[in-house]
Structures are given as C-alpha cells and as structure tokens.
Amino acid sequence: MGGVSLDTMSDPRIIRQDEWLDGSVARYRLIAEEDCAPRYVEWLNDPEVNRYLETRWEEQNLASVKAFVHSMVNAPSSYLFGIFVDSGRRHIGNIKLGPINSLHGFADISYFIGERDCWGKGIATDAIGAITRFGFERLALHRVQAGLYASNVGSARALERSGFRREGCFREKARTAEGREDVYQYAILADEWKRLHADERPPKVVAVLQARSTSTRLPGKVLKPILGEPMLARQIERIQRSREIDRLIVATSEEASDDSLAQLCSRLDVPCFRGSLNDVLDRFFRAVEPLAPAYVVRLTGDCPLADPDVIDAAILMCKAGHYDYVTNALHATYPDGLDVEVFTYASLAEAHREASLLSQREHVTPFINRQPERFKIGELMNAEDLSALRWTVDESEDFALVARIYEELYPLNPAFRMNDVLALLERHPGWKTVNTAHKRNEGYEKSLEKDRVEMEKAK
C-alpha cells in the first residue's frame, strides 16, 4: 500500500475541522483552540493522568496548552482528536495520530483520558479503534504503531483488544521517577485490520421495529392478515425498501404470547430480539447493543403503511445535520402511522443508562426528545400538514382502513408510497375520517399519567 503525501495532510476533503467520527461509546473530532480550558490544564498536571505523558516533566498552564493545540491544528502531518462523551458535549481527553511518515505510510498513535470517572469504561479501546480506522480508511496508511511503558497495563490491554500486536521491547528506554523502564512497541498493519474487522464491522444504521401481540385495544393486531400475510410482515416488506437502513431487527418480548411473532421473524429471515415486555427501552437498547451502530431508527409495529422514503429522509437529515435525534412526530405534519425516529447510538446509551421515569422506559425516546438543551434535536416536516390523517393501527376501524388501502394499491404496485395513498383517499374522501375520532399518542399519555401517580406516591 502506498504512503500518504504530506501535501494532502491538511486537506479538508480528508476531514473537516467540524466533522465527527463516531465510535461505540464516544465521539471524536479534531481539537480546536476553543477546546483549551482550565480543566484541560488540570488533566496535564494531575500525576495520575500524566504518569505516562511526556508533558509530566514540566508544569503546564493555559498558555502552554493553547500553544500545543495551535501547533497541532496547523501541523501538516499529525491529527489531534478530542475524545468526547455525552453526545459530543463533554471533552474528556485526546488521541493523536502522527507524525505521519509519508514515504513509508506509517504513523504513531498516542492518547490519554483526563477524566478519571471515564477510566475503565472501554473508551480507550473505542478511541484506538476509531482513529486507527481513520488512518487506514481515510489516509491509506500501511501501519499504525504505538509505544508504551511496560507498567502501562491498561493501555496494553486496550491496544491488544483493538488488534495491535506487541512486536518488541526497548530495554530501559524511558526515564521515570522510579528509575529506568522498558518501552514496548505495538503495531497493526492495514491488511491485519481488514481481516480482523471484515466480518465484525457494525452496520452504520440499524432499524429496530418494536412489536408485541398483547395490544390492549386490538389484541394480536400485528399478526392479523392483510392480503394473506400478517400485518407485521407487510410492514417489514416496506421497511426493507429503505436505501439507508443497513439492518433491521424486530424487538419483541420474552412472553409466550409473542412466540408466534418470533416464529414469523424466523420465517421471514429477520433477526428477532426478545427482552422485557414493559421496560421497552431496555429491550430496544439490548437489541442493538452488540452492533453499536452509529445511528438507530425506531419504528413501531402498528404502522403497516410506513414509507421508506420518509424513513430515509429522516436518516439523511440526522446524518447531514449531525443531530442527536431527528423525528417527524414531535410536531406532526405527516399522517399518523408514518412516524419515524432516528438517533445516535450514543444518545440511546445515555437514555438507557439514566432514564428512570415509567414514560421514559416504556417509550424509549422521551428521555432524549424532551431534553433539547442536552440533545441536538431536528424535526422533519412535510410541506403540507397531513397530521389529521390516521394510518396507524390501534383500533378495528384503523385495521379495516389499512386493509382496504392495501387491497386497492398493493396488487398494482407493491412498492406504493405515501403519495399513492393520498391519491387513493382523494378518490374516496369518505375514507379519510372513518377512524379519526381516536386520539394520537394515547399510549404515551397513559405513561405520563403513571408518572404522575408514582410522583404523588413518592411525596
């Protein structure tokens, strides 16, 4: 593999200053001078943090930190990334790739995590993986290497988990307060990285379709037949027409009542995760946790007219705007039943870790979408307000309408879209109101009432 020309090292087409790299548990972007803060200085002067840093030999101050960051921002052969958690709001450390040897195509990697409450949580392994991938995939490096003190057992484990091999030992190379110490050399080659991650690389966008058989208003609705196939199978067929979703998972409960739903997924060759019936957030999170994708799409099994174009529009908006969360349902302008939510895996992990209210556990996303001061939220709006139309299935009248729509449109065009349904309703205007007496989001309102009851009890 060829080396990298130094002329391209600062090319914004490789990475922009404001571009984020997403890992499984943290996010990364090029460090900026505005990231220099007193807390950064405290890290570098903390004996536990700087134990293996070359900066430990001199007292650091804000001026020295700013000078270093300025040199990195303008360095043509190094990339200094900040490590951020809490959806990119909290800077906890740095990881550097460089200097880059353009002739031979290799670079060193070095890092530290300054916030002690973030130690031992796999963030170093995540950072090494994200920046090594950047080096191989974006810079076409041949080799990434790291040197570390023999006593730095934690870093050794993080490198080994990322596929790095220990190649040798430089005896007594480093001077420490206790005396001389060996330095180990670790490295990984591009071909080794590719082989290691060929089958492991997680999909970037995973859709989770929540479904269960124990609906209180219309029991067994997800398995009710539409043109000879269960309603859920019809919805899955539509979701699979999305161009932006890499993988679809059905998340249902462990209850015996949902065995038939799991069997349907097996017949359709769609992954099915089974978890808690009532703690839907836990079920949802655990369905995607092994994959740790960059983005997660939330869909519910009562929307058999789900439109893949609307889904894709929300995904693309979330990516392009670097949002934590995008939906078309907070201030609805689409028909009820075309709802979609897209959010980062990092945001979902935060919700799973911190959400405590019943409404937050039963409905997955309120912890995120009710905190605009914490999460960057985007709303997908339709040009025309169609929110009065009800295409979801919670009542018998809902199902009758959806079945009628399928009978009219599916035989002629199985891939029919929202506009096809709208055109059909214009031909049958009476269909528009046969089920509109039912309230939108009744389930969430019931959860909020449970919250109020629990709060009263707590008093």
Q: pLDDT digit string (tens) for 21-70?
A: 888 788 999 998 889 999 999 998 988 888 888 777 788 899 988 998 88
DSSP-derived pairing of the beta strands 143-149 and 165-176: unpaired
pLDDT at 7: 38
Q: Which two tokens stand for residue 219?
A: 């029991």
pLDDT at 290: 82
Domain 6-197 classification at class level: alpha beta
Cβ count near 382 (within 10 Å): 16
CA distance 109 to 145: 6
- Helix 396-409 vs helix 231-239: angle between axes, to the nearest 10 degrees? 60
pLDDT at 20: 86
Task: Using the structure block, give the residue that is written with the tokens 């214009």.
Answer: 426
Q: Where are the domains of the chain?
A: 6-197, 205-437
Domain 205-437 classification at class level: alpha beta
Q: Which long-range contacts (C-beta less than 8 Å, at least 24 apart) are formed by 429-436? A: 431/401, 431/404, 431/405, 432/388, 432/389, 434/397, 434/400, 434/401, 435/390, 435/395, 435/397, 435/398, 435/401, 436/388, 436/389, 436/390
Q: What SS3 class is residue 349?
A: helix
pLDDT at 399: 96
Q: How many CA atoms lie within 13 A of 104 on its CB side?
A: 9
Q: Which two tokens stand for residue 44?
A: 């570098």
**Section 357-363 average pLDDT:** 88
**Strand arrangement, sheet containing 27-30:** 21-22, 27-30, 79-85, 90-101, 106-113, 143-149, 179-189, 165-176
Task: Indicate whether 207 pLDDT > 80.
Answer: yes
Instruction: State the Cα angle at 392 between 427 and 401, rounded to 5°.
Output: 40
pLDDT at 93: 94
Q: Which two tokens stand for residue 290?
A: 């092994």
The reply to whether the predicted model has a pTM over 0.75 is no
